[in-house]
Structure 1
Amino acid sequence: MLTYTAVSEAGGVGKTTTSATCAVSHARAGLDVLVIDLDTQNGSLTYFFGPDYDRGDSEVDNIVRHLIGRPKGDFDDLTIEVEEGIDLIPSHNMLEDLPELLLREKEQAERLGDSFSMYHQLHRVLRDGNVRDNYDVVIVDTAGKAGPVLYNALVAVRNVVIPFEVTAKGQESITGLDDLVDGLEQSTGIDVGVLAVVPIGYKDTRDQREILTELREMDFPVPVVIGDRGSLMEGSWKQQCSPYTYVDKHRNRKREYEVETLEQFDDLARTLERQAGLKTPEVTV
Structure 2
Amino acid sequence: MLTYTTYSEAGGVGKTTVGAALLEAHAEHGLDVLAIDMDQQNGSLTYLLDVDAPRDDSQADNIVRHMIDRPKGDLADLIHETEHGFDLLPSHNMLENLEDLLNRAQQMADDLGEGDDFDPYDRLRQVLMDAGIPQEYDVIVVDPPATAGPHLYNAVSATRSLVIPVEPTGKGMQSVIGLEELVEGLEDRLEAEIGVLAAVPNGIGRTTDQERYLNEIHERGYPAPVALRERSSLFEGCWDQQCTPAYYVEEYRDRTRDHEMETLEKIDDLATQVEEVGGL
Shift of 1:112: 1.9
* Structure 2: distance between partners of 1:48 and 1:172: 27
1:14 aligns with 2:24: no
* Structure 2: distance between partners of 1:46 and 1:177: 25
Deviations 1:93-147 (A, max 9, x none): 1111111111111111112221211111111111112122211110111113222
Structure 2 residue matching 1:241: 3-state secondary structure = coil
Runs of 4+ in 1 over 4 A off after TM superposition: none
Shift of 1:256: 0.4
Structure 2 letter corresponding to 1:33:
V
1:196 aligns with 2:175: no
Indicate if the aligned counterparts of 1:55 and 1:92 stay in contact, CA closer than 8 A: yes
Distance 1:96 1:173, change over 3 A: closer
Structure 2 letter corresponding to 1:166:
P
Indicate if the aligned counterparts of 2:197 and 2:278 stay in contact, CA closer than 8 A: no
Pairing partner for 1:126 from 110, 117, 128: 128
Counting only pairs closer than 5 Å after superposition, residues 81-120 of structure 1 correspond to structure 2 as: 81-115=81-115, 116-120=118-122
* Structure 1: distance between partners of 2:72 and 2:54: 16
> Hey, what does 2:62 align to over in structure 1?
62
* Structure 2: distance between partners of 1:121 and 1:64: 9
TM-score by length of 1: 0.93
> Hey, what does 2:279 align to over in structure 1?
277
1:53 aligns with 2:53: yes
Shift of 1:186: 3.0
> Hey, what does 1:259 align to over in structure 2?
261
Indicate if the aligned counterparts of 2:144 and 2:151 stay in contact, CA closer than 8 A: yes
Indicate if the aligned counterparts of 1:151 and 1:187 stay in contact, CA closer than 8 A: no
Indicate if the aligned counterparts of 2:76 and 2:133 stay in contact, CA closer than 8 A: no
Structure 1 letter corresponding to 2:199:
V
Structure 2 letter corresponding to 1:156:
A
Deviations 1:227-259 (A, max 9, x none): 000000001111111111111111010100000
| Greater mean alpha carbon deviation, residues 136-145 or residues 182-191 | 182-191
Shift of 1:162: 0.9
Deviations 1:134-183 (A, max 9, x none): 11110111113222111111110100111100123223334444323213
| Greater mean alpha carbon deviation, residues 167-176 or residues 107-116 | 167-176
> Hey, what does 1:72 align to over in structure 2?
72
Indicate if the aligned counterparts of 2:8 and 2:175 stay in contact, CA closer than 8 A: no
Structure 1 letter corresponding to 2:72:
K
Shift of 1:7: 1.5
* Structure 1: distance between partners of 2:235 and 2:195: 27
Distance 1:238 1:136, change over 3 A: same
| Greater mean alpha carbon deviation, residues 183-192 or residues 54-63 | 183-192
Structure 2 residue matching 1:146: 3-state secondary structure = coil
Counting only pairs closer than 5 Å after superposition, residues 135-146 of structure 1 correspond to structure 2 as: 135-146=137-148
* Structure 1: distance between partners of 2:122 and 2:173: 33
Structure 2 residue runs of 5 or longer lacking an equivalent are none
* Structure 2: distance between partners of 1:107 and 1:249: 50
Percentage of pairs with the same residue: 53
Indicate if the aligned counterparts of 1:37 and 1:43 stay in contact, CA closer than 8 A: no
Length, aligned pairs only: 278
1:24 aligns with 2:24: yes
Structure 2 residue matching 1:143: 3-state secondary structure = coil
Indicate if the aligned counterparts of 1:122 and 1:152 stay in contact, CA closer than 8 A: yes
Distance 1:256 1:144, change over 3 A: same
> Hey, what does 1:283 align to over in structure 2?
none
Structure 1 residue runs of 5 or longer lacking an equivalent are 279-285
Shift of 1:43: 4.9
* Structure 1: distance between partners of 2:219 and 2:154: 31
Structure 2 residue matching 1:83: 3-state secondary structure = coil
Structure 1 letter corresponding to 2:7:
V
> Hey, what does 2:173 align to over in structure 1?
171
* Structure 2: distance between partners of 1:9 and 1:64: 23
* Structure 2: distance between partners of 1:190 and 1:43: 32
Indicate if the aligned counterparts of 2:17 and 2:245 stay in contact, CA closer than 8 A: no
* Structure 2: distance between partners of 1:175 and 1:84: 34
1:207 aligns with 2:216: no
Shift of 1:187: 4.2
